[in-house]
Chain A
Amino acid sequence: MSGTALVVAEIHAGRLAPATAEAVGVARSLGLTVIGFAAGSDAGSAAAEFGALGVTEAFAVPDPRLDTAPSGARIGSIRQALSASNATTVLTVGTALGRDLVGHLAIAWDAAAATGVTEVVATGEGFRVRRPIFGGRATETRLLAGGHFALAIRPHAFPPAAGGANPCTVRELPAGELAPGLLAARRTGVSAAAAGAGPGLTDASIVVSGGRGVRAPENFHLIEELAAALGAAVGASRAVTDAGWRPTSLQVGQTGRAVSPQLYIAVGISGAIQHLVGMISSRVIVAINSDASAPIFKVADYGIVGDLFQIVPALTAEIRRVRGL
């Protein structure tokens, strides 16, 4: 397999999300020439950031209408970039946007499609991909074949592309004609996940989640302080979000978000299957719980049985100490 891959940028707060660097790394490890693609009002500067990842060519679609239109509105310009670059593979990140794009391209571009990919190798006909399924309770290997491929990688599953200092030549593309239906749907507001603007849950390489054991919303700052010391994202179990202690957007689990960070710290979370399927594919899991028989200790790598109101502040202090904060 050789050829060209278009890496579609995930843009957070105007900048390339870290996982985009991972997608570039994957494309390069497959021996593909990488061309960047960024869309939305920040497209120009985000596309230029591909240079820092050693990518010398990128497309930008700096049309602000794309900021407030559904994902499908990007397909026209992605297809233009694909024809202009002769790319046969699209690589993106397994976020809400990235997965949407893969689903659209599977039809619009007749691509073999896979999301949540954690390993990928080239074969004669295409790619062999591995992806966790059943909430990390199993793994499947699939063979993708055909002329076009669209893959969304799972964040943190691959090393980011090594840096470079190449200037990146950015070519602007128009968004093209957008169907009236796409323009009629409008984003009318955004509320940031947390005012402190730590890393997003799926972006974060460390996640600290609090559960029922935290007992009351006014105690949740213990979780947030530990997360801040670690530069981690804050998550919560369903018990916490259902009780309204924290917003639903922080929920990790079957009805919330699935995360796979390098380190997941579960505090005061018993470990119902509903929660486990959202975090079990994390690389290292730490559990802090007062109940030694809590099921979370069966899936954790390291456990501390104890009172979180004592352990967590001590842990926050120790992390601040070693990190010189």
Chain B
Amino acid sequence: MEIVVCVKPVPESETRLRPTGDGRSLDPEAVKFVLAGYDESAVEQALLLKEAIPGSKVHAVAYGVAPRTEEVLRSAIALGCDAATWIDAGEETSGDPIVAARALGGLIRTLPHDLVLCGKQAGDDESGLVAAALGELLEVPEFGSVVDLRWDAATGQFRFQRSVEAGTEIWTAATPLIVGLQQAWNDPRTAKLPAILKSRKATIARATPTAAGGGRSSPERFELPPPRTGAKMIEYRTPEEAAQKLVRILREEAKVFP
């Protein structure tokens, strides 16, 4: 099976965020970029399927700027992906996920793709639009919020769950298929040191965006919320007193329930 997995570099979750001088976007200076959380699951899912289906290959693709996009592809190689292609975003910094989706779609169209895996959303912009946009661009059925994607060799179909508001749905679908992954059936693996060292010398193919059509959205402002000052602690002598005080505060001060 030919599997394409889309990945994105995002700031490490502990990173201190700070706006650029013009206040429009995140200042990438001094930020450590890593493989986005759901994308880690997507890579894990791709590798699990590769291990389960003989003759499979996993091609990692990413759209973005140097050097972090190339680096995140090296981490995908270190984890076990067979090939990687970086689409250089160059000066395009709109941060519009649809621009990224168009670039990724233009590339994936030229690659064999029985299965395209994306994280269900990236931990930075949290748009969650790329998988759906790829579905439309490549005219392939697409599912978001997928959990536990399995291949059933007997029927030649995927079987997976989808975590939606009303509960969990169970689906079957044939190839080709596009998935926005919420969770693989394993925790993402970590790369071993020899693989990391080897990935430094791996060839990352480089592409330029083929798709026309610029972004329809542009960043205007990036803001940090005022720091939370810490909880107002409720003093009490008995559990009943704690409960009464909290309920009174929630009704009268916070006004969150009638």
Interface, chain A (partner B; CB < 8 A) = 10, 12-13, 17, 70-72, 75, 95-97, 99-104, 106-108, 110-116, 128, 131-146, 179, 181-182, 184-194, 200-203, 206, 230, 247-249, 254-258, 262-263, 273-274, 277, 283-287, 297-307, 310-311, 313-315, 317-319, 322
Main secondary structure of the interface of B (DSSP, over half): mixed
Q: Which of B38, B131, B220, B233 contacts A305 (CB 8 A)?
A: B233
B binding-site residues for A, Cβ under 8 Å: 11, 13-14, 17, 25-26, 37-38, 41, 95, 97-98, 101-102, 123-133, 135-137, 139-145, 147, 162-174, 176-177, 182-183, 213, 216-225, 228, 230-234, 236, 238-240, 242-244, 246-247, 249-251, 254, 256-257
* Pair B256/A72 contact, Cβ less than 8 Å: no
A96 and B164: CB pair below 8 A? yes
Option from B37, B127, B183 in Cβ contact (under 8 Å) with A116: B127
- On chain A, the residues within 8 Å of B145 by CB distance are 96
A179 and B254 alpha carbons, distance in the complex (Å): 51
Give the 5 A-B CB pairs with smallest separation, nearest first. A103-B132, A112-B216, A303-B231, A185-B173, A107-B136
A interface SS class: mixed
A139 interface neighbour in B13, B131, B182, B225, Cβ under 8 Å? B225
For A263, list chain B residues within 8 Å (CB). 250, 254, 256-257
* B132 touching A100, Cβ below 8 Å: yes
Please tell me which one of the listed residues B13, B221, B232, B244 contacts residue A273 in the complex, with CB atoms under 8 A apart: B13
Nearest to A11 among chain B residues (CB) is B166
B169–A190 contact, CB under 8 A? yes
- B191 CB → nearest A CB, Å: 19
Decide if A306 touches B135 in the complex (CB within 8 Å).
no
| Min C-beta distance of A223 to chain B, whole Å | 15
Contacts of B37 in A (CB 8 A): 254-255
Measured between beta carbons, the chain A residues less than 8 angstroms from B176 are 181
CB pair A191–B167 under 8 Å, yes or no, is yes
Beta-carbon contact of A133 and B172 below 8 Å: no
Residue in contact with A12 in the complex, picked from B95, B126, B165, B230, CB distance below 8 Å: B165
Q: Are A72 and B242 also in contact (CB < 8 A) when A100-B132, A104-B133, A184-B173 are? A: no
Contacts of A113 in B (CB 8 A): 97-98, 127, 129, 216-217
A103 touches B136 (CB 8 A): yes
**B217 contacts A114, C-beta separation under 8 Å:** yes
Q: Is the CB of A249 within 8 A of B167?
A: yes
Tell me the bound Cα distance from A297 to B228 in angstroms.
10
Q: Which residues of B sit under 8 angstroms from A193, Cβ to Cβ? A: 165-168
Chain A residues with Cβ below 8 Å from B164 are 95-97
Complex Cα gap A179–B176 (Å): 13
CB <8 Å contact, A106 and B98:
yes
Chain B residue with minimal CB distance to A193? B167
Q: Are B250 and A286 in contact (CB under 8 A)?
A: yes
Q: Is the CB of B17 within 8 A of A75?
A: no
Contacts of B239 in A (CB 8 A): 306-307, 310-311, 313-314
In the complex, residue of chain A having the shortest beta-carbon distance to the beta carbon of B147? A248
- A287 and B231 contact, CB distance less than 8 A: yes
Closest to B132 in A: A103
Q: Which of B123, B218, B239, B247 has the most C-beta atoms of chain A within 10 angstroms of its own C-beta? A: B239
Please determine whether B13 and A277 come into contact, CB atoms closer than 8 angstroms.
Answer: yes
A192 to B230, CA, bound (A): 36
Task: Say yes or no: A302-B218 contact (C-beta < 8 A), given A102-B132, A189-B169.
Answer: no
- For residue B136, which residues in chain A have a CB less than 8 angstroms away from its CB? 72, 75, 103-104, 106-108
Least CB separation from A201: chain B residue: B165
Contact of A103 among B135, B172, B230 (CB under 8 A): B135
Contact (Cβ within 8 A) A71 B17: no
A144–B129 CA distance with the chains assembled, in angstroms: 15
- Give every chain A residue within 8 A of B139 (Cβ-Cβ): 179, 181
Cβ–Cβ < 8 Å partners of B143 in chain A: 70-71, 185
Does B126 lie within 8 Å of A133, measured CB to CB?
Answer: yes
User: Which of B25, B144, B168 is in CB contact (< 8 Å) with A247?
Assistant: B168
Instruction: Please indicate the chain A residues that have their CB under 8 angstroms from the CB of B25 in the complex.
Output: 140
- Alpha-carbon separation in the docked complex, A11 to B124 (Å): 29
- In the bound complex, residues from chain B placing their C-beta under 8 Å from that of A301 are 231-232, 254
Complex: how many Å from CA A118 to CA B14?
24
Do B217 and A145 have beta carbons less than 8 Å apart? yes
Q: Name the one of B163, B213, B225 contacting A248, with C-beta atoms under 8 angstroms.
A: B163
A284 and B254: CB pair below 8 A?
yes
B252 to chain A, nearest CB (A): 11
Given contacts A106-B129, A190-B170, contact A181 B141 (CB under 8 A): yes
Q: What is the bound-complex CA distance between A101 and B257, given in angstroms?
A: 33
Q: Could you tell me the distance between the alpha carbons of A135 and B122 in the complex, rounded to whole angstroms?
A: 10
Q: Is the CB of A257 within 8 A of B217?
A: no
Chain A neighbourhood of B243, CB < 8 A: 311, 314-315, 317-319
Q: Given the complex of chains A and B, what is the CA–CA distance between A277 and B135 in angstroms? A: 28
In the complex, chain A residues whose CB is within 8 Å of the CB of B129 = 99, 102-103, 106, 113, 115
CB pair B247–A322 under 8 Å, yes or no, is yes
